């Protein structure tokens, strides 16, 4: 048993399954609709695997027009829709309900236009994050947002969750690199928003769409900003025996005027597990920073010299400047294998609360205390430059009650993040995972205004309805009457 | 009859002023330096934010400033300067162009999503806005976002407020990302270029990894700004000079450099010259065609953002809407300087796709159901 509840499926929808599937099949070319329970099971969860539920049906369109046709059928029949990219959400953003139709972007991964002069490209949103960079890197460009799941995750999900990554300290997150979208609205209408221009006319609806967790519309195409690749990049690894001093080091680097492309942080429990797994040669200490800078060789040397000088004033356990591509790979090896290493020895919940950089040391201490109170171990590996923490709560899914304890600890940790001026989620999204914690960050009026925005885009509350807002807050909107009227 | 001016000093008082408006329109005002942007607003009362001032929190090590919206940009910039930091989006000061006086405020910068030349590299105001508190048209205080760099908790209403020109709510407090001032900067000037030549140069320069922090074209000269650590600026200016060796290049440093970009930022080249001034956002490679078409209609243009931003001065205001001269591109235009008659007669902001216009109208209705906040300003 787990603690997050999903609403009961609407019996009236379940009863009409055959008619709904038939209407979808009628509206779409062959082989777009999946309704056999043996096949829909593949879509029963995303990367928040503790929660599973096969959908009523799955639609895998190949064009915007097909998404529109499927959406129109669902709209007219009052069936809720859960949009799905690659299904890598860590917050349950694409978790189905038994009475929903999944509309997935998996078969929409075409590159429609690449425009180096205007430094942008147009892509179908089923393309993976990494494939975007792959498409342009031979010509010296890259796409900046780089979530850890970038090999698998789709641009659709990146836009839905406003994904970040390790390099957003310098380059920003998805919303800062998204120039335009093609939308399928809840009633099936197709609308373009933005484009290769740097500014949009009117209200910033693009900013609203990005990070809306599939609740406002389905994004089928995106115009993405691409950037020239830096000439080179190299990291320095710095170990400290005190988390507070490591936090001070981060703040001093940021203030110094050097803008590293990434500042990553690992704590002792994480270093130990990673070291056993990846043998990256990390020192055993309380806090390890990996700071990466970019530029030409003399520029890299200059920046690394400044950073090591700052670190040197703070009595580090070790400072290791990479001198070669091989040494860089070694320094990054442990960090990049951290999640895999954790997964080898434990089940874990990965949180992503964000705190002000100045509150990092205190929050780390508080997380340690909370872990002890709940009797669970927590390892921390995160993007320190922007305060985006990733506490990994280690538990044993086979031990009854452990998941519930882990979730309770997670909730306490996220509340602690909010208390020091932070937020529940920095890059994973609210989904179902943090849905019930929203009142810890927002007042009823704050949430009401957000739900009114959803009312405007999706009056019937058909799109991903049981996510983001606590069920009690959205209950009066998630009704059969509204769906019929929507 | 002069308008009655309300000057609430707290967020609570702002909420009371809005809630107690009795359905009467309110014209929002910061320092009044941008009051002539937008369609003329009919309102008997002014809600001035000037009394709601002060920096709530500034943590240079966390690159964060939280500030009440009536705070002057002068106060914000002085605080930043003391820590050698800046707002990287380089907000334009509209006073020279609009011939206004007073002190620009941070609230108006955010309400107008006001950005400057560095937008081409660092992003717009909206990209540096971490969170906002505002009072909606019912007089309720709403908060969104926060003060941290990464935040995807709930819908991004802060971005919606940024560029809404006060038509969705009264901004009361904003959190902004701050960044260190570059250690050094210089500019390469390329004389004798037309718009085609300038945009070709910009496209080539912006394809390099040299992080061009400004790319503007005025009066036949193109300017490329290079910023960073001393070693970066030296390497990059050398590399760019080599790349464009076919051109005659003048290097601009020091005080002249700062003044040059303040002028570009504030469009001072059109300040003392008569006529309407339009601001167009375009795909950079469309800019030369637009400049030619507007030139044929008697307009004078300059470029910023590598061609992505076109400033057009149209001497005869009788020539009402610049949009009818635009070739079929996706460019969109905003009338930034025009007399009240002109602003009353044309669409100041680019007309939207009907569905998007419907969404915008519905959002305005949800945020301000009685249409009391800057009514009609963006209509």
Better-predicted residue by pLDDT, A262 or B316: A262
- The pLDDT tens digits for B75-120 are 999 999 999 999 999 999 999 999 999 999 999 999 999 999 999 9
Looking at the structure, tell me whether residues A224 and A237 fall in a common domain. Answer: no
Q: Which CATH number do you get for residue A359?
A: 3.30.70.2740
Rounded Cα distance between A216 and B362, Å, is 14
- Could you say which of A339, A374, A402 is where a domain stops? A339
Whether residue A208 and residue B349 make contact (CB cut-off 8 A), yes or no, is no
- The pLDDT tens digits for A441-460 are 999 999 999 999 999 999 99
Q: Which CATH number do you get for residue A305?
A: 3.30.70.3450
Distance from CA of A199 to the nearest CA of B (A): 6
Looking at the structure, tell me whether residues A117 and A206 fall in a common domain. Answer: yes
- Closest in A255, A258, A452 to B366, CB measured: A452
Looking at the structure, tell me whether residues A331 and A362 fall in a common domain. Answer: no
Looking at the structure, tell me whether residues A333 and A356 fall in a common domain. Answer: no
Looking at the structure, tell me whether residues A364 and A335 fall in a common domain. Answer: no
For an interface test with A, give the residue of B125, B152, B233 to mutate (most A CBs within 10 A): B152
Distance from CA of B148 to the nearest CA of A (A): 5
- The pLDDT tens digits for B176-220 are 999 999 999 999 999 999 999 999 999 999 999 999 999 999 999
Looking at the structure, tell me whether residues A277 and A326 fall in a common domain. Answer: yes
Rounded Cα distance between A298 and B233, Å, is 12
CB proximity under 8 Å: A 91-120 to B? 115-119
pLDDT of residue A342: 87
CB proximity under 8 Å: A 257-276 to B? 257-259
pLDDT of residue A176: 97
- Helix, strand or coil for residue A264? strand
pLDDT of residue B236: 96
In-domain check, residue A2: no
- Helix, strand or coil for residue B305? helix
pLDDT of residue A344: 85
Looking at the structure, tell me whether residues A212 and A115 fall in a common domain. Answer: yes
What is the rounded average pLDDT of the residues A113-123?
A: 98
Rounded Cα distance between B257 and B278, Å, is 26
For an interface test with A, give the residue of B129, B134, B139, B153 to mutate (most A CBs within 10 A): B153
DSSP string, A90-138: SS-TT---TTEEEEE-TT---EEEEETTTTEEEEETTSBHHHHHHHHGG
Looking at the structure, tell me whether residues A382 and A421 fall in a common domain. Answer: yes
pLDDT at A317 over 70: yes
Q: Which CATH number do you get for residue A148?
A: 3.30.465.10
Rounded Cα distance between A342 and A390, Å, is 12
**Cα-based torsion angle of the residue sequence B117, B118, B123, B125 in order, rounded to the nearest 10 degrees:** -70
pTM of the model: 0.97
In-domain check, residue A1: no
- The pLDDT tens digits for A368-378 are 999 999 999 99
Distance from CA of B115 to the nearest CA of A (A): 10
What are phi and psi for residue A182, nearest 5 degrees? -105, 125
Rounded Cα distance between A94 and A474, Å, is 18
Rounded Cα distance between A233 and A238, Å, is 17
Looking at the structure, tell me whether residues A177 and A153 fall in a common domain. Answer: yes
In-domain check, residue A3: no
Looking at the structure, tell me whether residues A237 and A295 fall in a common domain. Answer: yes
- The pLDDT tens digits for A61-91 are 999 999 999 999 999 999 999 999 999 999 9
Whether residue B284 and residue A118 make contact (CB cut-off 8 A), yes or no, is yes
Residues pairing with B58 in the sheet:
B65
Distance from CA of B293 to the nearest CA of A (A): 19
Nearest residue to B122 (alpha-carbon basis) of B12, B252, B230, B225: B225
Angle at B216 between CA B215 and CA B220, to 5 degrees: 135
Looking at the structure, tell me whether residues A249 and A190 fall in a common domain. Answer: no
- Could you say which of A104, A139, A173 is where a domain stops? A104
- Could you say which of A49, A74, A104 is where a domain stops? A104
Rounded Cα distance between A266 and A273, Å, is 11
Arithmetic mean of pLDDT over chain A: 95
Taking contacts as CB-CB distances below 8 angstroms, the residues of chain B near A258 are 229
In-domain check, residue A37: yes
Distance from CA of A131 to the nearest CA of B (A): 20
Rounded Cα distance between A46 and A50, Å, is 9
Cα-based distances in Å from A380 to A274, A377, A423, A469? 11, 10, 17, 27
In-domain check, residue A78: yes
pLDDT at A297 over 70: yes
| Residue ranges making up the domain that contains A197 | 111-228
- Closest in B113, B153, B232 to A299, CB measured: B232
Rounded Cα distance between B52 and B70, Å, is 5
Whether residue A198 and residue B308 make contact (CB cut-off 8 A), yes or no, is yes
Looking at the structure, tell me whether residues A142 and A193 fall in a common domain. Answer: yes
pLDDT of residue A484: 86
In-domain check, residue A151: yes
In-domain check, residue A331: yes
Taking contacts as CB-CB distances below 8 angstroms, the residues of chain A near B153 are 423-425, 430, 434, 438, 441-442
In-domain check, residue A83: yes
What is the rounded average pLDDT of the residues A80-105?
A: 97
Kindly report the number of other CB atoms within 10 A of residue B184's CB atom: 17
Q: DSSP letter for B2, please.
A: P
Q: Which CATH number do you get for residue A21?
A: 3.30.43.10
Confidence of residue A1 (pLDDT cuts 50, 70, 90): very low
Is A427 part of the contact surface with chain B (CB cutoff 8 Å)?
yes
Split into its structural domains, chain A has a count of 5
Is A453 part of the contact surface with chain B (CB cutoff 8 Å)?
yes
């Amino acid at each position: 048993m787990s603690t997050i509840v999903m609403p009961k499926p609407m019996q009236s929808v379940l009863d009409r399954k055959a008619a709904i599937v038939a209407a979808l099949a009628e509206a779409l070319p062959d082989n777009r609709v999946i309704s056999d329970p043996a096949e829909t099971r593949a879509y029963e969860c995303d990367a928040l695997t503790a929660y599973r539920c096969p959908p009523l049906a799955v639609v895998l369109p190949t064009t915007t027009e097909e998404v529109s046709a499927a959406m129109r059928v669902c709209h007219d029949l009052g069936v809720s829709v859960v949009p799905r990219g690659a299904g890598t959400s860590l917050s349950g953003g694409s978790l189905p309900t038994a009475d929903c139709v999944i509309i997935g972007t998996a078969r929409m991964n075409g590159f429609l236009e690449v425009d180096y002069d205007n430094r942008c490209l147009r892509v179908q949103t089923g393309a993976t994050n990494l494939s975007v960079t792959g498409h342009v890197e031979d010509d010296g460009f890259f796409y900046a947002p780089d979530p850890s799941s970038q090999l698998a995750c789709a641009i659709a999900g990146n836009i839905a969750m406003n994904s970040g990554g390790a390099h957003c300290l310098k380059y920003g997150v998805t919303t800062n690199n998204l120039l335009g979208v093609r939308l399928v609205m809840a009633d099936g209408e197709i609308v373009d928003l933005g484009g290769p221009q740097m500014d949009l006319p009117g209200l910033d609806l693009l900013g609203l769409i990005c990070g809306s967790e599939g609740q406002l519309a389905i994004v089928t195409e995106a115009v993405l900003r691409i950037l020239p690749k830096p000439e080179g990049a190299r990291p320095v690894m710095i170990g400290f025996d005190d988390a507070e001093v490591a936090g001070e080091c981060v703040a001093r680097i940021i203030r110094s005027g050097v803008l590293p492309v990434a500042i990553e942080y690992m704590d002792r429990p994480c270093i130990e597990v990673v070291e056993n797994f990846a043998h990256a040669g990390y020192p055993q200490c309380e806090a390890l920073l990996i700071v990466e800078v970019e530029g030409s060789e003399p520029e890299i040397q200059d920046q690394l010299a400044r950073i090591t000088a700052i670190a040197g004033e703070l009595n580090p356990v070790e400072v290791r400047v990479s001198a070669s591509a091989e040494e860089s790979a070694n320094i990054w090896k442990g960090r990049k294998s951290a999640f895999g290493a954790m997964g080898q020895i434990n089940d874990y919940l990965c949180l992503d609360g964000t705190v002000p950089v100045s509150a990092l040391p205190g929050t780390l201490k508080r997380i340690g205390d909370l872990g002890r109170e709940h009797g669970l171990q927590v390892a921390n590996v995160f993007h320190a430059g922007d305060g985006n923490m990733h506490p990994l709560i280690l538990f044993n899914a086979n031990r009854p009650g452990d998941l519930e304890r882990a979730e309770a600890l997670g909730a306490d940790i996220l509340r602690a993040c909010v208390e020091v001026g932070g937020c529940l989620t920095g890059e994973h999204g609210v989904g179902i995972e943090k849905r019930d914690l929203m009142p810890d960050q927002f007042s009823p009026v704050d949430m009401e205004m957000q739900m009114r925005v959803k009312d405007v885009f999706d009056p019937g509350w058909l799109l991903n309805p049981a996510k983001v807002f606590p069920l009690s807050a959205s209950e009066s909107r998630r009704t059969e009457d509204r769906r019929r009227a929507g | 009859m002069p308008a009655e001016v309300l000057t609430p000093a707290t967020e609570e008082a702002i909420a009371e002023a809005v809630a107690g408006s009795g359905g009467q329109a309110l014209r929002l005002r910061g320092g009044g330096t941008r009051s002539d942007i937008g369609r003329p607003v009919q309102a008997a009362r002014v809600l001035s934010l000037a009394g709601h001032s002060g920096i709530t929190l500034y943590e240079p090590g966390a690159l964060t400033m939280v500030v009440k919206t009536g705070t002057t940009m002068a106060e914000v910039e002085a605080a930043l300067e003391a820590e050698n930091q800046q707002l990287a989006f380089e907000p334009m000061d509209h006073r020279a162009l609009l011939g206004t006086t007073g002190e620009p405020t941070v609230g108006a910068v955010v309400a107008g999503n006001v950005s400057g030349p560095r937008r081409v590299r660092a992003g717009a105001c909206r990209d540096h806005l971490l969170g906002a508190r505002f009072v909606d048209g019912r007089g309720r205080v709403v908060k969104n976002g926060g003060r941290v760099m990464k935040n995807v908790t709930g819908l991004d209403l802060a971005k919606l407020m940024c560029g809404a020109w006060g038509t969705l709510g009264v901004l009361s407090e904003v959190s902004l990302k701050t960044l260190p001032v570059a250690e050094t900067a210089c500019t390469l000037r390329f004389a004798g270029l037309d718009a085609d030549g300038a945009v070709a140069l910009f496209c080539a320069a912006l394809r390099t990894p040299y992080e061009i922090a400004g790319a503007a074209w005025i009066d036949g000269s193109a300017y490329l700004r290079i910023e960073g650590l001393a070693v970066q600026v030296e390497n990059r200016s050398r590399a760019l000079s080599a790349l464009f060796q076919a051109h005659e290049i003048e290097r601009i440093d020091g005080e002249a450099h700062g003044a040059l970009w303040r002028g570009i930022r504030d469009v001072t080249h059109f300040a003392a010259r008569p006529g309407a001034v339009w601001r167009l956002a375009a795909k950079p490679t469309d800019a030369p065609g637009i400049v030619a078409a507007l030139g044929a209609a008697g307009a004078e243009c300059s470029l910023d953002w590598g061609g992505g931003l076109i400033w057009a001065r149209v001497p005869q205001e009788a020539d009402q809407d610049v949009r009818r001269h635009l070739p079929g591109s996706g460019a969109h235009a905003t009338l930034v300087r025009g007399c009240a008659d002109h602003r009353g007669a044309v669409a100041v902001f680019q007309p939207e796709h009907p569905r998007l216009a419907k969404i915008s109208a519905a959002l305005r209705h949800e945020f301000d159901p009685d249409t009391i906040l800057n009514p009609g300003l963006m209509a």
